[in-house]
Amino acid sequence: MPSLRALAFHCALAPASLFLAQTSFMRILLSLMLLLSAAVTAQTSDSLTIRSIYTTALTQGDCYQWLHHLCKNIGPRLSGSQGAADAVEYTRYIMDTLALDSVWLQPVMVPHWVRGEPEKGRIISEKPGLSQQLTLCALGGSIATGDGITAGVVEVRSFEDLNAMKDKDVKGKIVFFNVPMNQAHIRTFPAYGETARYRVRGADHASKKGAVGMVLRSLSTTLDDYPHTGVMIYTDTVPRIPGAALSTLAAERLSEALQRDPRLKLHIRMTCETLPDVLSYNVIGEIRGSENADEIIVVGGHLDAWDNGEGAHDDGAGCVQAIQTLQTFRRMGYQPKRTVRAVMYMNEENGTRGGKEYARVADSLGEQHIFGIESDAGGFTPHGFGINDSALVSKLKANWGDLLYQFGLHELSVGGGGVDINPMREHGCITAGLHPDSQRYFDYHHAPSDTFDKVNHRELKLGAAAMATLAYLISEYGVQ
Amino acid sequence: MPSLRALAFHCALAPASLFLAQTSFMRILLSLMLLLSAAVTAQTSDSLTIRSIYTTALTQGDCYQWLHHLCKNIGPRLSGSQGAADAVEYTRYIMDTLALDSVWLQPVMVPHWVRGEPEKGRIISEKPGLSQQLTLCALGGSIATGDGITAGVVEVRSFEDLNAMKDKDVKGKIVFFNVPMNQAHIRTFPAYGETARYRVRGADHASKKGAVGMVLRSLSTTLDDYPHTGVMIYTDTVPRIPGAALSTLAAERLSEALQRDPRLKLHIRMTCETLPDVLSYNVIGEIRGSENADEIIVVGGHLDAWDNGEGAHDDGAGCVQAIQTLQTFRRMGYQPKRTVRAVMYMNEENGTRGGKEYARVADSLGEQHIFGIESDAGGFTPHGFGINDSALVSKLKANWGDLLYQFGLHELSVGGGGVDINPMREHGCITAGLHPDSQRYFDYHHAPSDTFDKVNHRELKLGAAAMATLAYLISEYGVQ
């Protein structure tokens, strides 16, 4: 273990330095050595503390059990739902058991969109064998279809494809964006970044050309029959039309069927609606700093999750990891110098009201948030952090890069944050995102398959330990 | 992409260098720049080739489909079984379809141990509520119990615990090694290394103290009801006694029951036996090198897998990744300078006969194996390689470390190899192991839960691409 080697080096150094302090040269040498010695002491202390964070997190951490409750006893928890309210109460209850300095709820009004009855999708064709059910789901925020829409289908691969078409060929049809995520990327987030626009803006683009509905191939890295929902946004410059996601298998089938019968019809039926806003809460717990209590570090995740799954990786994982950061500090007896706050944000998925309200309140109270870390990329093996401040990245690399590498944290990159913590940036807060392995995330993201069984207990706890480690370093050394 | 930046730099350099070649100073400068230019060209070429390896592997690789067949249509394939014979035929068939230069079978005699009927385990206690079934399985190579053994149980946490006991307290009993894998390790292999000795040698240690049987807590990183088998070895200096693994849940239950009733009895019944050796094969395919064909690079995995699961991660993954290395080279039109051979070794799990025979034949033919890479740690996201040659590690780091990092390969460490390729070391072959993420491996290792659904298609393909990348670099630049 590097910590033990560093310790041995420090112990060997001290007696030698006394003997050498005879000449001015020796005094300079001594100063240098004492400096080195102090640095070694700090590093040794950090090494031992971080080792303790990991041991505590891996052997005494409860995040996996908490996630089990959040997924299996509460389950779906979209903003405004009973599940969201239950999740608020549950995470407050958990933090109440951890002997923190404060635990409180921060009110925030959130949107309340509901899916309604299970959606229906069906290909209708006069060609034998082509008529079939298709698995699809409404996109979050979509309007309903009334009794259903039955229309011809225009398949496109991009907005450019769509815009190149004549309006008359699109008018009255359902536009089908069949854009697979690009598997050639080494990490999956860039592929998501390339295709998410079709989910978010596809309905409006289709409407502009006169379409009556929009379906898209789910943003997924795998081929299965789970449709992946997610937010869509109407700009209201064009008529609103319903938007839905087909499972990747259903998208393949629809595309094949269109090859054989370009005149087929697609029937979709969705009864979703947007209800009045609802009072909900961000859930907050903190350990007050012993020296610089006014400097606040946030570790966070978002408590809301789409209504079609259990929100295990997105983002139950981030919530329980944030809470476990505080549990770990308490269990190992570490008292942070700066204040460390775990925040479960509400409404990341379809409004980001919680993150905005948290930043607004912090600003109105004159709170000084120096650093925020969000875990919202799944409970997979952590690889490191993206941090939105190049000087801090350089400092972390120079002082603790080798040490962090020993714990599997090999990535310290510039740029990063999280949807919920980003609003704090304009008040001077440096933001960071936990970067876990990304390979499986979009297999489950926003889908019914985002369930507890997809989470590995060690990977989840390692993520919690990584967050605690970064919170510890910032708490000890600040961000300058 | 770094490759494009490097390319642009190279293109900008060439005309400038012509203009500058006027003085001797300029000539020296020119030489330096041409050297740099050549280096940049090589790096650009490597960058483009490696990018092509990954794109080909991720978008055109068939390893996931092959693994599906190996797991679902063939399944268990312990040495000597029909499954092992089927796997030999299947992987030969697959390689026959890849237009390789040669595909052949290498005969090897292998042990043939069979499990027999499903094992039985039961706690028998006079205390109410304690009598119960326990899930267990015979360890590979164990003798049978005849009609069953019913005996008292001695629970220990280590060999030291056992040796500290009086022989009379162990005599006639079943020794229960209840040694959990240490969860505090960041990577899981060291924890396996610490506890595997109880599986391999536990029965002999127990027998030495007069025990009539040995059961151990499965070597597993999770708590579930799957027993994990694995090889055990008799030294024959003491009487052979049966050895079995309890699921981790069963181990917890037995330990709890012993707390309440130290005089309980454990009944175990196993009908396993060792049959005469069987003729089997290593399966080999190669692309012959265009320049240094006599220098051979092996990429390998082992084809045999324990009889109680599908051998998905251990080691179907390694086999299909090795084959995909050759498929990738063919599909992208890369002709290696040195010979690259994919080897599916037989009998890694309970005898390592395939690896030994391969090395023996290679030596007898005077073949020069310069490098071997084995994938036998699961089909998870690859992190890098352990390579058994510090000079080569330094060379790879210096020349391609930054490039490999772009593809997620951040680990180039000294030390590594694989059970099957290690016998080639004594003939001068440098060996390497693919190092994937280790967190989930021991949840499934040697258990009925090592099934196809535990493998992610992208993670599997990334591992194949990593192997192909290292094989490419060695093929181009050798090991010096």
The ipTM (two decimal places) reads 0.91
Q: What angle do CA A120, A121, A122 make, to 5 degrees?
A: 130
Distance CA B30, CA A225 (A): 61
- Mean pLDDT computed over every residue of chain A: 93
The answer to whether residue A349 neighbours chain B at the CB level (below 8 Å) is no
Per-residue pLDDT, averaged over A339-355, amounts to 98
**8 Å CB contact of B183 and A439:** no
The answer to whether A460 and A450 have CB atoms below 8 angstroms apart is: no
Q: Per-residue pLDDT for B25 more than 60?
A: no
Per-residue pLDDT, averaged over B373-382, amounts to 98
The answer to whether B235 and B200 have CB atoms below 8 angstroms apart is: no
Nearest C-alpha of chain A: how many angstroms from B31? 35
The answer to whether residue A260 neighbours chain B at the CB level (below 8 Å) is no
**8 Å CB contact of B186 and A439:** no
Q: Per-residue pLDDT for B20 more than 50?
A: no
Q: Per-residue pLDDT for A264 more than 60?
A: yes
B408 vs A contacts (CB less than 8 Å) = 186-187
Q: Per-residue pLDDT for B3 more than 50?
A: no
**β-pair type (A382-387, A411-414):** parallel
- Residue of A59, A220, A331, A457 best to disrupt the B interface, most CBs of B under 10 A: A457
A55 vs B contacts (CB less than 8 Å) = 184
Q: What are B299-344's pLDDT values in tens digits?
A: 999 999 999 999 999 999 999 999 999 999 999 999 999 999 999 9
Distance CA B264, CA B340 (A): 58
Per-residue pLDDT, averaged over A30-41, amounts to 61
Q: How confident is the model at residue A431 (pLDDT cuts 50, 70, 90)?
A: very high
Distance CA A339, CA A332 (A): 17
Q: Per-residue pLDDT for B10 more than 60?
A: no
The answer to whether residue B54 neighbours chain A at the CB level (below 8 Å) is yes
Q: Per-residue pLDDT for A357 more than 80?
A: yes
A406 vs B contacts (CB less than 8 Å) = 186
Q: Per-residue pLDDT for A462 more than 50?
A: yes
Neighbouring CB atoms inside 10 A of B466's CB total: 30
Q: Phi/psi zone of residue B171: left (φ > 0), alpha (ψ -120 to 50 degrees), beta?
A: beta
Q: Phi/psi zone of residue A239: left (φ > 0), alpha (ψ -120 to 50 degrees), beta?
A: beta
**8 Å CB contact of A459 and B440:** yes
Per-residue pLDDT, averaged over B386-414, amounts to 98
The answer to whether A467 and A373 have CB atoms below 8 angstroms apart is: yes
B462 vs A contacts (CB less than 8 Å) = 186, 439
The answer to whether residue A332 neighbours chain B at the CB level (below 8 Å) is no
Task: Select the residue of B58, B187, B222 nearest A183 (Cβ to Cβ).
Answer: B58
Per-residue pLDDT, averaged over B98-106, amounts to 98
**8 Å CB contact of A437 and B381:** yes
Task: Output the pTM of the full model.
Answer: 0.91
**8 Å CB contact of B59 and A184:** yes
* Rg, Å, chain B Cα set: 26
Give how far the C-alpha of residue A197 lies from the chain's centroid of Cα atoms, to the nearest Å.
18
Residue A38's pLDDT is 61
**8 Å CB contact of B184 and A59:** yes
Q: What are A358-401's pLDDT values in tens digits?
A: 999 999 999 999 999 999 999 999 999 999 999 999 999 999 99
Per-residue pLDDT, averaged over B128-139, amounts to 97
Q: How confident is the model at residue A25 (pLDDT cuts 50, 70, 90)?
A: low
User: Which token pair is A270?
Assistant: 């969705």
The answer to whether A247 and A135 have CB atoms below 8 angstroms apart is: yes
Per the model's pLDDT, the better-predicted residue between B396 and A12 turns out to be B396
Per-residue pLDDT, averaged over A292-314, amounts to 98
Residue B44's pLDDT is 84
Per the model's pLDDT, the better-predicted residue between B4 and B477 turns out to be B477
Q: What are A221-234's pLDDT values in tens digits?
A: 999 999 999 999 99
Distance CA A361, CA A371 (A): 16
Per the model's pLDDT, the better-predicted residue between A25 and A181 turns out to be A181
Residue of chain A whose alpha carbon sits nearest to that of B181: A59
Q: Per-residue pLDDT for B137 more than 70?
A: yes
The answer to whether residue A439 neighbours chain B at the CB level (below 8 Å) is yes
Nearest C-alpha of chain A: how many angstroms from B113? 33
Q: Per-residue pLDDT for B12 more than 60?
A: no
Q: What are B250-265's pLDDT values in tens digits?
A: 999 999 999 999 999 9
Residue B7's pLDDT is 30
DSSP classification of residue B138:
E
Q: What are A333-342's pLDDT values in tens digits?
A: 999 999 999 9
Per the model's pLDDT, the better-predicted residue between B126 and A17 turns out to be B126
The answer to whether residue B48 neighbours chain A at the CB level (below 8 Å) is no
- Mean pLDDT computed over every residue of chain B: 93
Q: Per-residue pLDDT for A263 more than 70?
A: yes
3-state secondary structure B229-282: CCECCCCCCCCCCCEEEECHHHHHHHHHHHHHCCCCEEEEECCCEEEEEEEEEE
Task: Select the residue of A54, A443, A458 nearest B439 (Cβ to Cβ).
Answer: A458
The answer to whether residue A59 neighbours chain B at the CB level (below 8 Å) is yes
Q: Per-residue pLDDT for A14 more than 60?
A: no
Distance CA A282, CA A343 (A): 7
| Backbone dihedral angles phi then psi of residue B342, each to the nearest 5 degrees | -95, 125
The answer to whether A421 and A355 have CB atoms below 8 angstroms apart is: yes
Of all residues in chain B, what percent carry a pLDDT higher than 90? 90
User: Which token pair is B355?
Assistant: 């690896």
Residue B40's pLDDT is 61
Residue A44's pLDDT is 84
Starting at the edge strand that comes first in sequence, how are the strands of the sheet with A120-124 ordered? A132-133, A120-124, A265-269, A149-156, A174-177, A213-217, A243-246, A136-138
Q: Per-residue pLDDT for B60 more than 60?
A: yes
Residue B41's pLDDT is 66
Q: How confident is the model at residue A17 (pLDDT cuts 50, 70, 90)?
A: very low
Residue A375's pLDDT is 98
